[in-house]
Amino acid sequence: MNLFNKAIASAAIATTAALSLSAKAEALTFSIGQNFTGLTLNDIVDLTGYGFDPPDTMGAVGPDHFVEFINGGYSIYDKTNGTAVQTMSDVQFWTSVANLDLTDFLSNPNNFLIDPRILYDPTSQRWFAAEIDVPFQENGDNASNNFLLAVSNSSDPTAGWTGFKIDADSTDSYFADYPTLGLNADGVYIASNNFNLFTDPNDTVLGVTLVSIPKADLLAPTPTIANLTIFENLDARQFGFTLQPAVDFGPSDGREPILARQCTGLDCSDFSSPYTVLPRTDLFNTGTSLASLGLPLNIGVSPYSHPPLATQPDGSVQIRAGDTRINSTVYKVNNSLWTVHSTELNGRSALRWYEIDATTNAVLQSGTIGDPDHDYFYPSIAVNEFGHAVIGFSRSGLDEFISSYAVVGDTMDGVTSFTDPILLKAGLDNYHLSGGDVERWGDYSATTVDPTDPFSFWTIQEFAAQPGTFPSTWATQITQIRIAPSTVPEPTSALGLLAFGAFGVGSRLKRKQQQNDQNNNLN
């Protein structure tokens, strides 16, 4: 959440439109499994005494549970039936579950927590969660703040966590906003966008911060962050805006890739021109206290522009569809980086997705998904070992309240094609929560692959709910999408082999060799 607003690339790959799909994607067989409503605005008010707009929709699936973690609320569901087995406020999570001492912070009733992230790591069989605190000074201005990080005791999220507080700024001169979370075999990573606390009324971006914590330290019998490395307030014009450390469940390759949105203008506020690159940076030696940061470079991509405001049926109030930052998790699968963000397509908000070679930075394929009558916004992507992909997102239009949707993709010969949009939960009303001409929505969503079944995807999205305590409300929807592969797959990683051996089901070889250097768009 932005605190300060709060209360295909190569010649061989064509752009994919939602209404122009290959026969392969149309023939893909899938079904909807669990599909239930999670936390709502009314739930958050009951838990905290106040509401959040927006919720910052976030969650992940584990062996036995789906965990939802949004602004103000934390809930664990039995993934076999959608029953909530534990629900509490985010403050209760950090203090009573993760045993984090927030006494000084909570002494000011104006302080609160925002921007949660959560991941399940099947290789370590642990959950990792992050959030930021929002402290205020006596004069009402924001104070410098902390990252909150927690690791679970086991694969069972109800069985206890250990929490940590990390000073985001040793100089106490900026506020670290919009945290992101990534991990690999060596480390766990947090990043933020930074804003000036004192001299700037216009929320100018000062820079970006990146934190690296050795994973082995967090998995120790007594978890610790003593060996963390923090890179404070890096130049966003070089490293990009909203750094997204990748999530990589494979073996260590000695580096952690980080993707970002291009930053133009002195303070990343130049929204007038299309962007043409995705900045990338790598972290090295992250399993030690001496993590190092590589030089940033730019991956050339097809131009992308900020999405316009989204429409809804009554037309009187438009919805903020976010911007072009990479809001959701970047996944590294089979040496490819997969990501998605919002963009503009023919005057509508749309989705841009990519597959990027993690070694060469070649854009192997990308596409833009949208249609002339609807706005698509706040997407998240997940990809399995066999080339199946799911993108979850919100959609609205003059004929549709804000609803939860997904597209399902299949990859053949290096080309991924997606189905038509699949309605997961229909919106129920126009969204007029704050009473202004423009309403906030988002700020992100999450889609994850089930660690016990690589053909099962879970996505958590937001939809416009019916009025209740408030004249307009939001709610979250948690949906399982099961892909029925047509032939036996050939796993291409250790994780895929484990999944394949456990289930004896499958599809086909994920893809052939990646495209050659003619597709390399590296600048």
Q: Domain segments of the chain: what residues?
A: 3-519
The predicted structure's pLDDT at residue 498: 36
| Alpha carbons 165 and 149: distance in angstroms, whole number | 7
- In whole angstroms, how large is the CA radius of gyration of the chain? 21
Which amino acid appears at position 282 of this protein? D
The predicted structure's pLDDT at residue 203: 66
The predicted structure's pLDDT at residue 236: 94
Identify the three-state secondary structure at position 273. Answer: coil
Residue 62, φ and ψ in degrees, nearest 5: -125, -165
| Alpha carbons 130 and 83: distance in angstroms, whole number | 24
Task: Return the C-alpha torsion angle 61, 193, 153, 454, nearest 10.
Answer: 20
| Alpha carbons 271 and 274: distance in angstroms, whole number | 8
Q: Which helix (H) or strand (E) holds 16?
A: none
Residue 502, φ and ψ in degrees, nearest 5: -75, -30
Query: Are 225 and 149 contacting, i.e. CB atoms less than 8 angstroms apart?
Result: yes
Beta-carbon count within 10 A of 423 CB: 13
Query: Are 390 and 410 contacting, i.e. CB atoms less than 8 angstroms apart?
Result: no
Query: Are 446 and 385 contacting, i.e. CB atoms less than 8 angstroms apart?
Result: no
Identify the three-state secondary structure at position 422. Answer: strand
The predicted structure's pLDDT at residue 125: 98
Would you give per-residue pLDDT tens digits along the chain (523 residues)? 443 222 223 222 223 333 333 334 556 899 999 999 999 999 999 999 988 889 999 999 999 999 999 999 999 999 999 999 999 999 999 999 999 999 999 999 999 999 999 999 999 999 999 999 999 987 777 889 999 999 999 999 999 999 999 999 999 999 999 999 999 999 999 999 999 887 655 567 889 999 999 999 999 999 999 999 999 999 999 999 999 999 999 999 999 999 999 998 777 877 777 999 999 999 999 999 999 999 999 999 999 999 999 999 999 999 999 999 999 999 999 999 999 999 999 999 999 999 999 999 999 999 999 999 999 999 999 999 999 999 999 999 999 999 999 999 999 999 999 999 999 999 999 999 988 899 999 899 999 999 999 999 999 999 999 877 677 899 999 999 999 976 445 554 444 433 333 322 222 222 222 333 333 333 3
Beta-carbon count within 10 A of 217 CB: 20
Terminal-to-terminal C-alpha distance of the chain: 31
Query: Are 85 and 78 contacting, i.e. CB atoms less than 8 angstroms apart?
Result: yes
What's CA 459's distance to the chain center, in Å? 11
The predicted structure's pLDDT at residue 271: 73
The predicted structure's pLDDT at residue 265: 78
The full DSSP string for 446-467 is: EEEE-TT-TTEEEEEEEEEEPP
Query: Are 396 and 406 contacting, i.e. CB atoms less than 8 angstroms apart?
Result: no
CATH architecture under which domain 3-519 falls: 7 Propeller (2.130)
Query: Are 311 and 349 contacting, i.e. CB atoms less than 8 angstroms apart?
Result: no
| Alpha carbons 477 and 23: distance in angstroms, whole number | 29
